[in-house]
């Protein structure tokens, strides 16, 4: 039987931020996992973000951010040979 199964969905998130008067940072990560209603189907997503801001002088501020994401999608892999 290909269909008729429960599809579990999970979402995990974590974030950290802080800093001083001159430098601030933020980090976050996320993992999502979603099963499909058909056997063998699954969707996973991993994301990460990092931001930093620095006040060099009263008039000069610099910042940088990095974002990364990776997705594995097996949601359309129904075996049609059955």
* Mean pLDDT for the stretch of residues 42-55: 96
Q: Looking at residue 42, what is its pLDDT? A: 84
CA distances from 47 to 12, 24, 28, 63 (A): 11, 21, 8, 20
Q: What DSSP string runs through the chain?
A: --S-----EEEEEEEEEEE-SSEEEEEEEEEEEEE-SSTT-EEEEEEEEEEEEEESSSS-EEEEEEEEEEEEE-TT---TT-
* Mean pLDDT for the stretch of residues 34-62: 90
Closest CA to 74 of 32, 40, 45: 40
pTM: 0.72
Q: Looking at residue 8, what is its pLDDT? A: 84
């Amino acid at each position: 039987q290909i269909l008729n199964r429960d599809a579990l969905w999970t979402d995990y998130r974590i974030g950290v931020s802080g800093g001083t008067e001159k430098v601030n940072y933020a980090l976050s990560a996320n993992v999502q996992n979603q099963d499909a209603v058909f056997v063998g189907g699954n969707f996973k997503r991993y994301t990460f973000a990092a931001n930093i801001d620095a006040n060099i002088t009263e008039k000069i501020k610099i910042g940088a951010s990095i974002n990364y994401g990776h997705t594995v999608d097996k949601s359309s892999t129904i075996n049609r040979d059955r």
